[in-house]
A and B are shown apart, each in its own frame.
Chain A
Amino acid sequence: DAGITQSPRHKVTETGTPVTLRCHQTENHRYMYWYRQDPGHGLRLIHYSYGVKDTDKGEVSDGYSVSRSKTEDFLLTLESATSSQTSVYFCAGGDFGNTIYFGEGSWLTVV
């Protein structure tokens, strides 16, 4: 058990609506990450956080925003969902120089 839970695990939403995915950790990891995984691309970093209220962009951050108001929670928001954001989203947590541990994933379909 990596101590990282994601919600919702599955969601179908309509194009143009905002969507928020939640990641909650119980391991006091300083770093938290949001990745998306698509066939042929592997895992790509969307945003990450290196502390409360400290976040930075990853390689595919357009259309996404994040917030981390406390150590335990890292939220990913799709401001206006598009079909290209249909994907599986993984949250992860870890500490500098060490391995990272993943949540079980959130499957998002934008119709």
Chain B
Amino acid sequence: RKEVEQDPGPFNVPEGATVAFNCTYSNSASQSFFWYRQDCRKEPKLLMSVYSSGNEDGRFTAQLNRASQYISLLIRDSKLSDSATYLCVVNKGRNTDKLIFGTGTRLQVFP
């Protein structure tokens, strides 16, 4: 089993749609969770951290479910500019700075 698993997609959605991605992780001791965004042939960039209580940043909402060991990302009112690959990132275990990246979920927003 991979340490971090994501549905590769692609998710093809129209502008204005709401779309959600899930990511599962295998190490119950993981403490840090993030979503990164990566455009084609570019470096990954931090989209948002994921906190235990859930957090929102504009149209983006992240949730953490420790019991089921998954995190989610919800994008509301999708824009064409949201088209990218979204990477789920989890630290490897307790008190470690090693981050494990999922292979990403590709989102394509069409007009």
A and B found bound together: yes
- Give the B-binding residues of A (Cβ under 8 A): 2, 31, 35, 40-45, 48, 50, 58, 90, 94, 96-97, 99-105
* Residues in B whose Cβ lies below 8 Å from that of A50: 97
6 sampled A-B residue pairs with Cβ under 8 A: A40-B103, A48-B97, A90-B43, A94-B97, A96-B97, A99-B34
Number of A-B pairs, beta carbon distance below 8 Å: 40
- B87: Cβ under 8 A from any A Cβ: yes
**Cβ-defined contact, B98 with A42, below 8 A:** no
Q: How far is the CB of B95 from chain A (nearest CB, A)?
A: 9
CA distance A96 to B97 in the complex (A): 6
Chain B interface category by residue count: 10 to 19
Kindly list the 4 A-B residue pairs having the minimum CB-CB distance in the complex, ordered from nearest.
A42-B103, A102-B43, A43-B101, A99-B46
Q: Which residue of chain B has the shortest Cβ distance to A101 in the bound complex?
A: B46
